[in-house]
Amino acid sequence: MFSLQIKDIEVLNCEYGKNTINLEQFAIDICNHFMTTFCQVAYVKTYVQEVPWQRLHEDGVPHIHSFICVPDGIRFCEAEQCRNGPLVVFAGIKDLKLMKTTQSGFEGFYKNEHTTLPERHDRILCGELFCKWSYGECKDFDFDCIWKKIRECILEAFAGPPDCGEYSPSYQKTVNCIQMLVLSRLLWLPARKIGLFHRWSIVCLCSSLPPKSCDSATVPSYPFPPSGGHYRSTFTCDNVSIYHCCS
């Protein structure tokens, strides 16, 4: 059965590949095929991602057979359907690596008697973004246009204007700004839910540290945040709920 499924997908790719212009439609075609062909199938879930291959060039001459993978955000999608149920489509961006060399702080967070982490007003911030959204019950959408618009929103909210940038008091605030901008510009999406998962690392600017020649007995303690971690955020516009999880 497994080998049959693989061959079916290969045949679908050959039959519909010339007419399929995006990942989402190909995932939908696969779901429809298995639901209409095999009566014993009760549930289908399809995952498709785009591999950003570019042809190698040497002195401006394209190579005859060699390519290089140059990801600047990998596009992916999921389509799932239960027997006698609606077809639901998700899409997203992953492995989008972003960095700000300044105008990123960490301040205004909750503090109590156990807090040792000082506030920072400038730091280098880099992260790997995973963003996923839902189209709800699938209808006729311009999937390519929506994906490009959401990617533009992510870059705009993260970086700010090109001539001056934009300060963010925390990475969590940046994540929320991305979600709010996407939801405000794509109000017509039926399922306005944006989930973001980040692998991030932080480099603090430590110009205030004493020189190495100082006596160790007089050097104060400088607690630093962890060098990396994960941050997950889900924002749903319909009922204005926010869920954050750090690890």
What is the distance between the alpha carbons of residues 170 and 156, in angstroms, rounded to a whole number? 16
Secondary structure class of 105 (helix, strand, coil): coil
Please give the average per-residue pLDDT across 75-94, as a whole number.
91
Query: In which band, very low, low, confident or very high, does the pLDDT at 79 lie, cut at 50, 70 and 90?
Result: very high
Does position 197 have pLDDT exceeding 50, yes or no? yes
- Per-residue model confidence (pLDDT) at position 229: 52
What residue numbers bound the domain in which 231 lies? 2-108+121-205+227-246
Q: How many domains is the chain partitioned into structurally?
A: 1
Does position 4 have pLDDT exceeding 80, yes or no? no
Where is pLDDT greater, at 11 or 231? 11
Looking up tokens 């289908």 gives: 44
What is the distance between the alpha carbons of residues 176 and 96, in angstroms, rounded to a whole number? 17
In a domain, 220, yes or no: no
Query: What is the model's pTM?
Result: 0.72
In a domain, 39, yes or no: yes
In a domain, 64, yes or no: yes
Does position 158 have pLDDT exceeding 60, yes or no? yes
CATH number for the domain harbouring residue 233: 3.10.270.10
- Per-residue model confidence (pLDDT) at position 189: 63
Does position 234 have pLDDT exceeding 60, yes or no? no
Q: Helices 2-16 and 23-37 meet at what angle, rounded to 10?
A: 130
Distance of CA 6 to CAs 1, 18, 31, 178, Å? Answer: 9, 19, 13, 38
Q: Tell me: the pLDDT tens digits for 105-151?
A: 888 888 899 988 888 888 888 888 888 888 877 667 889 999 999 99
- Per-residue model confidence (pLDDT) at position 231: 53
In a domain, 215, yes or no: no
What is the distance between the alpha carbons of residues 231 and 173, in angstroms, rounded to a whole number? 12
In a domain, 82, yes or no: yes
Q: Helices 171-185 and 143-159 meet at what angle, rounded to 10?
A: 140
110 Cβ contact list (under 8 Å, min separation 6) = none
In a domain, 155, yes or no: yes
What is the distance between the alpha carbons of residues 117 and 192, in angstroms, rounded to a whole number? 36
Query: In which band, very low, low, confident or very high, does the pLDDT at 239 lie, cut at 50, 70 and 90?
Result: very low
In a domain, 177, yes or no: yes
In a domain, 133, yes or no: yes
- Per-residue model confidence (pLDDT) at position 109: 84
Residue ranges of E strands in 31-71: 43-49, 53-58, 61-69
Amino acid code (one letter) for 185: R
